[in-house]
Amino acid sequence: MHARFAFVCAVGLVASCGSSDATTSNAMPDAGSGPPLADASIDADLRDGSTSPRASCVSAAQLRAWQAEIDHFDGGYRPTGSAAHEGYIALLTSELAALGVADVHTEAYAFRKWTPSSWSLAWAAGPSPGPVAVSGYVPYSGSTGPGGVIARMVHVPTTTIPIDATALRKALSDPKAWNDALTTAVGGSIAALTLAGKIALFDVPRAAVTLSTLTGQRIYANDPGGTLTPDTTLTRTDLSAMLYVPGMLSALAAAGAVGAIGILDAPEEAARGEYAPFFGALSPNMPALYVDRATGEALKSAVATWPLAPAKLVLDATLTDASSENLIGVLPGTSSEEILFGSHTDGPNSIEDNGPVAILALASCLPRSERPRTVRFVLSGGHFVGSVGLQSYVAAHAADLTKNALAVVEIEHLGARAWTEVSPGMMALTGEPEVQLVTTWANAPLVDASTAYAKLFPRTIVGEPPLIGEGPNFRIVPLIQIISMPEYLLLGHLPAITTHMTDYALMQRQVDAILAMERALAVAPASQLGVVGR
């Protein structure tokens, strides 16, 4: 696992940033609707400074159809190497070839595959025996076997860990050291409890980070509402799970617990199917489930009232050696110099990741006459096992990347609408787009292209250096990372993401802007794009 990003890669760190008013309206514009193009069109040819608009090459309806295809594969739930994931790779392979992309092929990588077959929680005895509603499982946490474990449940007090810029960057640069430190920190509160042979019930505390923590040095902010200051604090359910759960499970295992229940500080709708953390195999074995806030409060009350009542936890899963594939394709240009576009193919729903939809649009809209440089598409897998797919690709192609690749644009989670808890227990769309973070290397053409993009989209920030998303795994290639991080990013089997939570008119404008970005990068001086001294 590459140390810097395995842990917030596509996590979606932002929910309801700033103080914008929320509404309860879930109405979605018809495909193709939306505000007119700005004076400096998102489709302007940036290489000559033109502001003459071009007609959009791909309709919002087509983008919606491509995203809806993701739901054909187990409702969009595509853990790495699953049948749904492999099916989506196969579909994209055929679609890219049909669009005339050359050299479409897959490249295998190895990983450890965790496959759950059943999971449940129930009171085995006591005043209210029977099943307890669970939100899901902690991915790769372990296995009880088919019979589960029956044990008393003990509530473990929460240890809150401040997450400032220093702490988060340490976690990004060395996840193992971060988790070891967390294990030690929470171990103090656990030491006084008798957890051997017990099921541990614990709250997942709300971690908070500032925008400046995520973006580093701010280059530009399109913030007409004035709500996205560097000190704006962001809280996210999945970020909290990413930062806290691995260390907590390690501490519980060290204390002898036989299973764990994490209480997510979110309503049922925003906790259901949470797929976090997504680092791959956790160690040691500590089978764990999630419950939502209300269920967690009921469990804590039951434990306090009937401390001797046994519970049964089942998480039956297998961990095996497996392989999956990265998907590669090329649009040849008049030069062997390359501009890369990347995204990933695995995820729990249709917006995580709909970057491949943008890749299909780019393949449709870049005629050879407008390709002074070759365009390469890298659709990686393995994002949900610590980004091993892209790391494998970069390791295998380091020489070619160093020789030919001048820049890469990584695209993730387009068209996202902000969704938050507008009143206790009530989730709703806010009526605003989700915040976009565009992080970039400091190379002048990349900064210029990132800023031109951000000027077209309110609630967009440009910063450097890139820390989050799949893209930083390219490592040796100058990078622009375009990412948004809605609250529903890691929720599985949520069809409303496709039907209501994605703004396809916004996505269409984003694709147009990415096309303009490609045209700018295609003619920028190689000496300014590539690594100095290349």
161-165, 248-252, 272-276, 428-432: range with lowest mean pLDDT: 161-165
Average pLDDT, the chain: 85
**Percent of the chain at pLDDT exceeding 90:** 66
pLDDT at 170: 67
- For residue 287, what pLDDT band results from cuts at 50, 70 and 90? very high
Instruction: Please say if the pLDDT value at position 158 is more than 90.
Output: no
Tokens 């007119």, located at residue: 36
Instruction: Please say if the pLDDT value at position 283 is more than 90.
Output: no
Q: Is 84 helix (H, G, I), strand (E, B) or coil?
A: helix
Contacts 24+ apart (CB under 8 A), 300-303: 300/155, 300/201, 300/263, 302/123, 302/126, 302/128, 302/153, 303/153, 303/154, 303/155, 303/201
More confident residue, 211 or 417: 417
> Model pTM?
0.86
Q: What is the pLDDT of residues 450-468, one digit of tens each?
A: 999 999 999 999 998 766 7
pLDDT at 415: 97
Tokens 């967390």, located at residue: 182
- For residue 44, what pLDDT band results from cuts at 50, 70 and 90? very low
Q: How far apart are the first and last CA of the chain?
A: 27
**What does the buried/exposed string (b/e) look like for 320-334 if buried means 16 or more CB atoms within 10 Å of the residue's CB?**
eebebbbbbbbbbbe
More confident residue, 527 or 164: 527
Instruction: Please say if the pLDDT value at position 347 is more than 50.
Output: yes
Tell me how crowded residue 308 is: count the other CB atoms within 10 A of its CB: 7
pLDDT at 173: 62
Instruction: Please say if the pLDDT value at position 78 is more than 90.
Output: yes
pLDDT at 379: 98
**Percent of the chain at pLDDT exceeding 70:** 85
Instruction: Please say if the pLDDT value at position 25 is more than 80.
Output: no
pLDDT at 49: 36
- For residue 168, what pLDDT band results from cuts at 50, 70 and 90? low
Q: What is the pLDDT of residues 291-330, one digit of tens each?
A: 999 999 999 999 999 999 999 999 999 999 999 999 999 9
Instruction: Please say if the pLDDT value at position 3 is more than 50.
Output: no
Instruction: Please say if the pLDDT value at position 5 is more than 60.
Output: no
Q: What is the pLDDT of residues 219-259, one digit of tens each?
A: 999 999 898 888 887 788 888 888 888 888 988 998 999 99
Instruction: Please say if the pLDDT value at position 43 is more than 80.
Output: no
Tell me how crowded residue 231 is: count the other CB atoms within 10 A of its CB: 9
pLDDT at 433: 95
pLDDT at 106: 98
pLDDT at 26: 30
- For residue 31, what pLDDT band results from cuts at 50, 70 and 90? very low
pLDDT at 179: 72
Q: What is the pLDDT of residues 256-268, one digit of tens each?
A: 999 999 999 999 9
pLDDT at 35: 29
Instruction: Please say if the pLDDT value at position 361 is more than 80.
Output: yes
Average pLDDT over residues 4-14: 31
- For residue 17, what pLDDT band results from cuts at 50, 70 and 90? very low
Residue 63 · residue 504 · CB < 8 Å: yes
pLDDT at 464: 82
Which helix (H) or strand (E) element contains residue 234?
A: strand 233-235
Structure tokens at 247: 């260390």
- For residue 511, what pLDDT band results from cuts at 50, 70 and 90? very high
pLDDT at 189: 72
Distances (CA, A) of 414 to 124, 233, 384, 503: 45, 23, 19, 8
Nearest to 161 by CA among 181, 190, 136, 191: 181
Instruction: Please say if the pLDDT value at position 385 is more than 60.
Output: yes
DSSP structure string for 305-372: H-TT-EEEEEEEEEEEEEEEEEEEEEE--SSS-EEEEEEES-BSBTTBT-HHHHHHHHHHH--GGG-S
Q: What is the pLDDT of residues 47-69, one digit of tens each?
A: 333 333 467 889 999 999 999 99
Instruction: Please say if the pLDDT value at position 354 is more than 50.
Output: yes
